[in-house]
Amino acid sequence: MSFEAGDTVELLNELPEAFLAVTELGEVLFVNRALTALTGYDADDLVGKDISTLLPTPERRRVQVIEWFGRWANDPDSEQLRYLNLELLTRVGDTKLVSVRVSKHDIQDKPCFLVVLRDVTTQHETMAALRHAQLVTNRILAIGEDAILSVDSEQKLIYWNERAAQLFGYSESEIIGQPLSRLLPPNMSVDHSDLVTSFTAGKVASRMMGERGEIFGVHRDGRRIPLEASITKTTIDGQTVLSAQVRDITERKLREQALVASEARFRAIFEYAVEAMVLLSPDGRVLEINPAAKALLPDFEASKYFWELDWWHEQADPQVVQQSREGLRESVGRCLAGEVIRVRTHLGGTREVDFSMLPVNDADGRVVYIIAEARELNATGDHA
Amino acid sequence: MPKVVFIEANGTVHEVVASAGTSLMQAAVSHMVPGIEGDCGGLCACATCHVYVPDEWQAKCSAAKELEQSILDFAFDVNENSRLACQIELGDDLDGITVTLPERQY
């Protein structure tokens, strides 16, 4: 065989893959049309030249191309050698990544390598970008505050992040491949399995936290854990993967219970206090009023502002009432400025009331509430 | 459960705990250590899990076989401490091993 013009050369030039023939010493004997198209060289630029014109030894790697041609030729079907690519230098100095297939053949009694090259640059760059994106995503998922887990169509766990390991007490290697039911209370697992099946078959792609209400998981040590979960499904090539973001709501429930208990204690004090108490917003609006205060206001109707409450005797002088209301209004303003107020007010007839107002500050020192107390005095000024 | 420390070329440190019997490459990939690819999945076929094993740990690792030595031709910036992480099996004797990663695997 030779590479003189003829049917064989014509055939090689028609090959859609880039092809070259090179001696064991590295001298290029032939390049086909697809290779010249790939590299930008003319055939005359390459034939007779050393293979390093096209496939130089990379600057930071120690690949000796001819030596590797020999290995590939000796083991053309090796799985081991399938992943290795060479860097091809084009005429304009660009580098392309090429996969190669090599066979050895004697041409004019000289052992030569017959090499097919395939440009895998784009494929490689796409894969590298995907791997990078996947790594970034995986690292985000791994450090997520919520537990994240995925199951396959048989409801076996296939993904498990660090928070899930902490929440349920199983390491990733222990739980991957295990059924989801392992994480559920025994009495719930059948129902839950039906729910999962129905979600898989349904048309809804995702369900967010709170839509399903509270569920329970089981820690490795048997402890029941109240949970909230968002779930989503992804079906690719007929295989459905369900992923859940799971949040432990134990702390939240404890906080809610503490809040309810605190509210009950506050109610007990407020509702059963002997003193008349009114809780005001900083601008003097009535937020809460206790039964003892209502007892002083026989015709109590919900009023907007503290000074609008009907504390006064029905026969009280309207002018005095008006002045008293103004006095209370002014007192609320002073209280908002931080002052503790005590003011005695005539309600008409022999009735008098001692009002006291106390500002309640938040952590930044702002007045957020005013507590007003009213103590009725008898005609001698004593507490009634 | 041997502890492994991977130090990226930029100095970022990743300390992971791996299962005995897994490879150094698997430990890196499963703990999402950037800079170790393991494209071939551990076949000693792609040179994308290249690491530098310091002298003090080299003696405790099994010696590199001929195939690993030749595949290292395709790794970047190879030196006498270069190994393919997929060929180092972790055991208790390698507890605490610290390896550094090259600037690039591709």
Retrieve residue A157's tokens.
Answer: 């766990």
In the chain, the amino acid numbered A47 is V
Is B39 close to A83, i.e. CB distance below 8 A?
A: yes
Q: What's the pLDDT score for residue A378?
A: 64
Is A61 close to B73, i.e. CB distance below 8 A?
A: yes
- Chain B residue with the nearest C-alpha to that of A160: B30
CA distance A256 to A237: 45
Mutate to test the interface with A, among B17, B74, B76 (most CBs of A within 10 A): B74
In the chain, the amino acid numbered A121 is T
Is A128 close to B106, i.e. CB distance below 8 A?
A: yes
Q: Which residues of B touch A81 (CB under 8 A)?
A: 45
Average pLDDT value for residue range B54-58:
94
Q: Which residues of B touch A138 (CB under 8 A)?
A: 32
The pLDDT tens digits of the residues spanning A35-75 come to 999 999 999 999 999 999 999 988 888 899 999 999 889 88
Supply the CATH number for residue B55's domain: 3.10.20.30
The pLDDT tens digits of the residues spanning A220-234 come to 999 999 999 999 999
CA A182 to chain centre: 25
Q: What's the pLDDT score for residue A384?
A: 45
DSSP A100-158: EEEEEEEETTEEEEEEEEEE-HHHHHHHHHHHHHHHHHHHHHHT-SSEEEEE-TTSBEE
CA A261 to chain centre: 33
Q: B69 lies in a domain?
A: yes
CA distance B91 to B3: 10
CB A322 within 8 A of CB A316: no
Retrieve residue A296's tokens.
Answer: 């002083």
Q: Which residues of B touch A80 (CB under 8 A)?
A: 43-45, 67, 71
Q: B105 lies in a domain?
A: no
Q: Which residues of A touch B74 (CB under 8 A)?
A: 61, 63, 84
Q: B63 lies in a domain?
A: yes
Q: What's the pLDDT score for residue A313?
A: 78
CB A108 within 8 A of CB A23: no
3-class state of residue B66 by DSSP: helix
CB A117 within 8 A of CB A126: no
CA A227 to chain centre: 17
Q: Is A340 exposed, middle or buried (0-12, 13-18, 19+ CB in 10 A)?
A: exposed
* Domain encompassing residue B74: 3-100
pLDDT classification of B41: cutoffs 50, 70, 90 = confident
- Sheet strands (E) in chain A: 18-23, 28-31, 85-89, 95-107, 110-119, 147-151, 157-160, 206-207, 215-218, 224-236, 239-248, 276-280, 286-289, 341-348, 351-361, 367-377
Is A172 close to B30, i.e. CB distance below 8 A?
A: yes
Q: B106 lies in a domain?
A: no
Q: B47 lies in a domain?
A: yes
CB A246 within 8 A of CB A227: yes
3-class state of residue A182 by DSSP: helix
Q: B18 lies in a domain?
A: yes
- Chain B residue with the nearest C-alpha to that of A162: B31
**Number of domains within chain B:** 1
Q: What's the pLDDT score for residue A296?
A: 84
What residues in chain A have per-residue pLDDT under 50?
379-381, 383-384
Q: Which residues of A touch B75 (CB under 8 A)?
A: 61
State how far the alpha carbon of A220 is from the alpha carbons of A165, A166, A184, B104, in Å: 10, 10, 10, 41
- Percent of chain B past pLDDT 70, that is, above it, reads 100
Domains and CATH numbers, chain A: 7-125 (3.30.450.20), 143-252 (3.30.450.20), 273-377 (3.30.450.20)
Q: Is A92 exposed, middle or buried (0-12, 13-18, 19+ CB in 10 A)?
A: exposed
A240: left (phi over 0), alpha (psi -120 to 50) or beta: beta
Cβ neighbours, 10 Å, residue A150: 21
Ramachandran angles phi, psi of A157, nearest 5°: -70, 130
